[in-house]
Chain A
Amino acid sequence: MAQALHLPNFIELKRSRQDQESNRRQWSGVKSLQSPAWLKEIYDRISALKLLEENWDSYGGLPVAETAIKAVRVLLSNLDIEDLPTPHVAPLPDGGIGLHWRVGARDLEIEVEPNGKVHYLQTNVGEESIPGDVHSLPEAQNALDWVLGK
């Protein structure tokens, strides 16, 4: 009886791109600021949040905390965000930062508190929102993957 094979009989993979080369051989723990294309723009927007003064929203909004800025930057530099569209970035009245992605019918809101704690809210259009806390980078990655339907 013929055996069902799910693997191709022969696989050959060649890779030689120079930019991949230099990044793979190094050991310095960096992420390119040029990929995804929106990353630098978002970084600049996050930096600009530092300029907000108390009562920036005329409702007593607090200045954005340096800890929140650092937490957002560390998240963005450590997660796989290549396939995500440009997020909406907004200051939060308590001094935190909000990030929002919408992909199709899925919405993901990530809130970073002034002390750096991270929460998320997943919403499928027409369904109840599901909140969650992020305690680790893999948990944050899961939330991002959800919005892409991975």
Chain B
Amino acid sequence: MAFAFAPLPWSVPHFGAFWGEIKGDYPTFEVHPPIGEFNFEFNAVAPEAIVNLPVRCWFKNDQSNRLIQVQNNRFFHNWRRPNPAAPYLHYDELKPVFEREWGRFCKFVNRYGLGAPNVLSCEVAYINHLDRGVGWDNFSDLFRIFPSVGSFEGKKFLAKPETISANASYVMSSNEGRLQVAIQPAIRRLDGKEIIQLSITGSCRPASSDTSELMRCLDSCRGWVVRGFDDLTSADMHKIWRKK
């Protein structure tokens, strides 16, 4: 889950100060390049040195299954299953956590005089790993998972494709936002297994930055993600996933 907001006058010291407040729950950090378009400025000879270092910080919890990402115009809370045997955390369990952490971030921003975040977009993303050998074996079998996707096999000259990746975007009703679907051939670093990574992301623009409106938007995005997943994937795969 994530919010994108108008850029705040957030600078390097704010990362440390914010981490100081959440360190009890998120004891480790990583520094990454920011999401979105950004400028990197370094002017060593200006009368007043200009330094703009756009970064995104990850703050991870003890079990490394929850993550807060912060940059000057984004706030993310991510959950991932640490191992296949770990219980799955559902949206209804994760949303209150996101709401709590967002509240903590807003209080921090307010206390440091950075202004209230003007939220431009709410986002819910589901990332699924579809293991090779479970319902599919070759990329030309993609229709087994996604019945509306073709084989991409050539008419005469081209054989079956070695890999296929695809991106699709759907407009939500009343033009509230978009549902984006990405199908990417990938390898899971943990065990080196071949997978299809299916990412489904719902994003929509809230009418205001009030918490109730933001939560309504998240619910709407999540609804689109769930219905979109169900609509795009085959009944045979649903049976396989239900058995797992």
- Residues of A at under 8 Å CB distance from B? 5, 7, 9-16, 18, 21-22, 24-34, 39-41, 43, 70, 72-78
Contact = CB atoms under 8 A, between A and B. Distances in A.
24 contacts: A7-B42, A9-B43, A10-B41, A11-B42, A13-B38, A13-B39, A15-B33, A15-B37, A24-B32, A24-B35, A25-B35, A25-B69, A26-B125, A26-B127, A27-B78, A28-B127, A30-B186, A30-B187, A33-B163, A40-B185, A43-B194, A70-B191, A74-B189, A77-B187
Contacts of A9: 43-45
A22 B76 CA distance: 14
Contacts, number: 105
Given A11-B41, A15-B37, A22 B199 contact: yes
B78 A30 contact: no
Nearest to B79: A27
Contacts of A10: 41-43
A34 B185 contact: yes
B125 A12 contact: no
Given A11-B42, A12-B41, A77-B189, A28 B80 contact: yes
A70 to B, nearest CB: 6
Given A5-B45, A29-B190, A43-B194, 9 more contacts: A7-B44, A10-B43, A13-B40, A25-B76, A27-B78, A30-B129, A74-B192, A77-B189, A78-B189
A32 B33 contact: no
Interface of B: 2, 32-33, 35-45, 67, 69, 76, 78, 80, 125, 127, 129, 162-163, 165, 167, 182, 184-195, 197, 199
Nearest to A11: B42
Residue among A5, A26, A30, A34 with the highest chain B CB neighbour number at 10 A: A30
Top 9 closest A-B pairs, CB basis? A73-B192, A33-B185, A77-B187, A30-B186, A74-B192, A16-B37, A13-B40, A29-B189, A27-B78
Contact of A24 (B33, B37, B67, B191): B33
B103 to A, nearest CB: 22
A26 B41 CA distance: 26
Contacts of A14: 37-39
A21 B162 CA distance: 24
Contact of B187 (A12, A21, A41, A76): A76
A26 B43 CA distance: 32
A137 to B, nearest CB: 10
Nearest to B39: A12
A11 B46 CA distance: 13
A5 B46 CA distance: 13
A7 B43 CA distance: 9
A70 B193 CA distance: 8
B163 A43 contact: no
A34 B188 CA distance: 13
Nearest to B76: A25
B186 A74 contact: no
B197 A28 contact: yes
Residue among B2, B33, B162, B192 with the highest chain A CB neighbour number at 10 A: B192
Contacts of B192: 70, 72-77
Contacts of B129: 28, 30
